[in-house]
Structure 1
Amino acid sequence: MLTEVVLALVVGGVIYFLVQRSRKQVLKTEDGWWGAGAPPGGEEDQSIRPFTVQTSDGEIEDLYRRIDQTRPVESLEDSQFNYGFNSIYLQKVVSYWRNDFDWKKQVEKINRYPHFKTNIEGIDVHYVHVQPRSLPEGTSAVPLIMVHGWPGSFYEFYGLIPLLTGPSDPGNLCFEVICPSIPGYGFSEAPRKKGFDSVCAARVFLKLMRRLGFQQFYAHGGDWGWLVTTNMAQLEPKAVKGLHVNFAPPSKPSLPMVLSILLGKRFPKLFGFTDHDIRRIYPCNQNLVVEPVKESGYMHIQATKPDTAGRGLNDSPVGLAAYILEKFSSWTDPDFRSLEDGGLTRKFSLDDLLTNVMIYWSSGCIVSSMRFYKENFSKGLDQPHSRMAVHVPTGFACFPNELMHSPKLWVQQKYPQLSSYTLQPRGGHFAALEEPLLMAQDIQSFTKTLEKKK
């Protein structure tokens, strides 16, 4: 009993010290120019232009020609998805892509919502902007920006958008949703200069929201979207009314985190560990080292030489599909690595998966999307934003099969104003696409709580 009390005092004191030290910090940044050449003189073009995703017979014919010329590779016997995308199942996916997938129909689906572009810091930024179908009298829509990651896109949110903009429950909030493409992803223009990292993306999206007339808003992010929206809250905490994320890996080890790893299995209540926390953390060598290493090889490539690997993916649609879709298997459930088909269609439809691939293919953005890793990691892990807490109300949706598990104590180190931490019944890394209803419910619950307080 005495040991637990002493440990609690030590941990509590350290947490209090860290929170107090960073309480008044605000992330600093300077405007950039990411277009070709030097910035032109005169006023910045702030016009907003409607945008329509398009395709053509020529684009589809070129795709089919490249698919037809692919050279299949045999998988090892009994390898399933443990060596990457299983070649036998890949041929089935490619056959569906070539003979049954209707890209023109999916383009119509993509264009179901209004798309726009506007030029910020020298590059065209693409975004989807969806307003509520109807609003109860005397109410206003709640602005919400949702940011995707890699190898996802704005399309990840297409199942979530109608649940937020037209909720069936009259007691729920109606959201006005903005889903931008990170510059270098999808239909946002790629930066022409080195150095465009998450802080730059955050600054661009803050300018986007102001340009749309929103002085205050909510933000949601997963994968890279977690870091971009976190940086937005660090840059302008008064603009971000609330931050909701479903991915929050520790930016750097803290003393409370280290103590919890060393002692959490023996004293779980002391650190607020649940049974799920214990299962995901221990044994440490397997869950905190081996498993992340299995799924992070791509990261080292993209953080060092993205243009080399990316060039091959940019030329081969089959290679691109294998590279992207393998993540939708193992990042959704690690047990899917033991299945011949990678469990892909257990949680997703091939039409949705291939639509995401086609956004990368048709826009030719795979290389520029991979460069985002280079720009973020080349500056080192000890960046100002990694040392800085986030002092806006935060909600965390904890999906049980997320790549990196973050117990509540660890999340609170970065987000001291954590107002909700919800363990979801199912779901993995691509939760918005996989479990849109669960995600919508968590965003609703988190936002309603804050709006009632206000």
Structure 2
Amino acid sequence: MERLVIFKQAFCNLEPAQQQVVIGSAVAGGLILAYSLLNKKREVRTIPVGEGWWGAGENPQIEDHKIYSFEVQTSDDEITDLHERIDRTRYTDPLENACFQYGFNSSYLKKVVSYWRNQFDWKKQVVVLNKYPHFKTNIEGLDIHFIHVRPPRSEGQRVLPLMLVHGWPGSFFEFYRILPLLTDTQDDLAFEVICPSIPGYGFSEAPHKQDFDSLAAARIFLTLMERLGFSQFYLQGGDWGSLITTNMAQMKPQCVKGLHLNMISAQRGFKMLMSILFGRYVPCLVGLTREDVRRLFPFMEKNVYEILRETGYFHIQATKPDTAGCGVNDSPVGLAAYILEKFSTWTDLKNRNLEDGGLERKFSLDDLLTNVMIYWTTGSMVSSMRFYKENLKTNIEDRVDSRTGIFVPTGLAAFPEELMHCPRSWAEMRYRNICSYSYLSRGGHFAAFEEPQLLANDLVQFVKKVEKL
């Protein structure tokens, strides 16, 4: 009753034109609600784990469960080949004052490539990569790469297992700045971290068969944790890592003590529609906070149009990844431009208005080029792009995971420059046990790479809250 009174007062304070918009929206919303109720699919509580085989040829039915040490290596021939390809690059002059509005500005690209060719030391960065222990193990026919970092033992300190999962166009290297904040800490809590490479990314073998999606990756990572001896553990992910870890929690909720995400997706529905229609005028009635309103509205300009501007790559990779992949897999400079443009724009959309794309505001060129080199030296760009097609061959909302709620304790970190803001009220439609929802003060899509301290703090406070429960 109280909400109706508030709504009536708010409605009366609107201009006549705004009142008409509200009335029309309510009618449209009612029709959409009726349609959604008639077509609502029955929700399931867990996803069957299933099994798969993604190796070359037939499944031999004999799986090697051993875990092998692995070391990142390079050679003079590899570096010479890179330099020769860089030296043969053809550039196109940028349009005047275009900055990053048309993509990676080629004037700044030349500066990045000059640093790459003349100053970047790949052999030194290989040593950096080998700072943490690397391993491989074969699961479902694929050699799965991961790093496994154990904290130095401290008396009275609790140590909890944690898996961190990256996305595209990132890699396990995204987590190198956050790892010491989670493992080598004086806090009463520390983590034993497992950080795998998604199959087809970096040093994990690419699937040889079609249909390898996030559900298959989730199953493989659950097997990895079981093989390492962990029956219960925490998960953290962003980008594809967010979906993969969510799927893991849907498959084996009894194993996942807590799920922490820095990219949040929600199911479309009546609640979301009402928030979009009325949230700007009466946010409290549709479950929005003032901060949600600030980040969401004007909805079309700040969210829908921006996503349309930034997701051309998405359509290409979800339809014909092998065609587009030919060029970037063959040209190191093309690969760098393709990857680094995302690290510019997805960190902050305003970077499109800068001649240098704002890349060095959050990252060093050494770190950025190390991530590029992981893709280049492994030739994994095409297989990483295919992951989009495999996940989007059919309507993703018809998949079993879209009809499965997430009931494990969940922590959500909302970074202000993420491509799409997801309010808690939207997230609750899918994540049914949200223990922590944080509005972070700064940072974008690559949270662990950009703001490792902020992400680590939020993750730790979430885990401590779950442990108390």
TM-score of the pair, normalised by structure 2: 0.91
2:192 matched residue in structure 1: 176
Q: CA deviation at 1:2?
A: 5.2
Structure 1: how far apart are the matches of 2:140 and 2:216? 10
The reply to whether residue 131 of structure 1 matches residue 131 of structure 2 is no
Q: Does 2:449 match 1:433?
A: yes
Q: Note the C-alpha offset of 1:239.
A: 0.5
Tell me the number of residue pairs that the alignment of Structure 1 and Structure 2 aligns.
Answer: 440
Match of 1:376 in 2: 391
Instruction: Using the TM superposition, give the Cα deviation of residue 283 of structure 1 relative to its aligned residue in structure 2, in angstroms.
Output: 1.6
Partner residue, 2:262: 246
After the TM superposition, which segments of 4 or more aligned residues of structure 1 sit over 4 Å from their partners? 4-7, 21-24
Of 314-323 and 25-34, more deviation after overlay is shown by 25-34
- Alignment of 1:65 with 2:84, yes or no, is yes
Counterpart secondary structure, 2:257:
strand
Q: Distance in 2 between matches of 1:50 and 1:392?
A: 33
Alignment of 1:237-386 (within 5 A): 237-250=253-266, 252-381=267-396, 382-386=398-402
SS, match of residue 144 in structure 2: strand
Give the letter for the 1:30 counterpart.
G
Q: Which residue of 2 aligns with 1:113?
A: 132
| Whole-Å separation in 2 of the counterparts to 1:6 and 1:116 | 58
Give 2:293's aligned amino acid. I
**Most deviating of 146-155 and 255-264:** 255-264
Q: Which amino acid aligns with 1:37?
A: G
Runs of 5+ in structure 1 lacking a partner? none
SS at match of 2:164: strand
- Whole-Å Cα distance in 2 between the matches of residues 239 and 2 of structure 1? 41
The CA deviation at 1:23 is 7.5
Higher alpha-carbon deviation: 86-95 or 26-35: 26-35
Mapped to 2, the partners of 1:40 and 1:388 lie a distance apart of 33
Quote the RMSD (CA, aligned, Å). 1.9
Distance 2:384 2:162 in 1: 24
Distance in 1 (CA, whole Å) between partners of 2:154 and 2:393 is 46
SS in 2 for 1:413: coil
2:466 aligned partner:
450
Tell me the CA shift for residue 386 of structure 1: 1.3
Change (3 A) 1:388 1:6: farther
Tell me by how many angstroms 1:362 deviates: 0.5
How does 1:23-172 map onto structure 2 within 5 Å? 25-41=45-61, 43-137=62-156, 139-168=157-186, 170-171=187-188
Change (3 A) 1:277 1:243: same
Letter in 1 for 2:160: V
Distance 1:64 1:446 in 2: 46
Q: 1:136 deviation in Å?
A: 2.2
2:428 partner SS = helix
2:240 aligned partner: 224
Give yes or no for contact 1:116–1:127 (8 Å, CA) kept in 2. Answer: yes
What is the CA-CA distance between 1:288 and the residue it aligns to? 2.9
- How far apart in 2 are the matches of 1:186 and 1:22? 38
Listed one character per residue, the Cα deviations across residues 269-300 of structure 1 (whole Å, up to 9, x for unaligned) are: 22332333212222222123210001100000
Q: Cα distance, 1:22 vs. partner?
A: 7.2
Question: What does 1:9-20 align with in structure 2 at a 5 Å threshold?
Answer: none
Deviations 1:73-122 (A, max 9, x none): 10000100000000000000000000010100000000000000000000
Contact 2:275 2:287 in 1 (8 A): no
Counterpart-to-counterpart distance in 2, 1:65 and 1:153: 25
Structure 2 partner of 1:189: 205
- How far residue 5 of structure 1 moved from its aligned partner, in angstroms, is 7.3
Show CA shifts across 1:343-392 (max 9, x none): 00001111100000000000100000000000000022221111221010
The residue aligned with 1:3 is 4
Contact kept in structure 1, 2:163 and 2:235, CA below 8 Å: yes
Distance 1:158 1:399 in 2: 20
Contact 2:7 2:285 in 1 (8 A): no
Amino acid at match of 1:293: L
Structure 2: gaps spanning 5 or more residues: 9-25
Question: Aligned AA for 1:3?
Answer: L
Cα distance in 2 for residues equivalent to 1:276 and 1:316: 43
- Which deviations, in whole Å up to 9, do the C-alpha atoms of 1:42-73 show, x marking residues without a partner? x3110000000000000000000000000011
**Offset at residue 6 of structure 1 (A):** 8.4
Q: Which has the larger radius of gyration?
A: 2
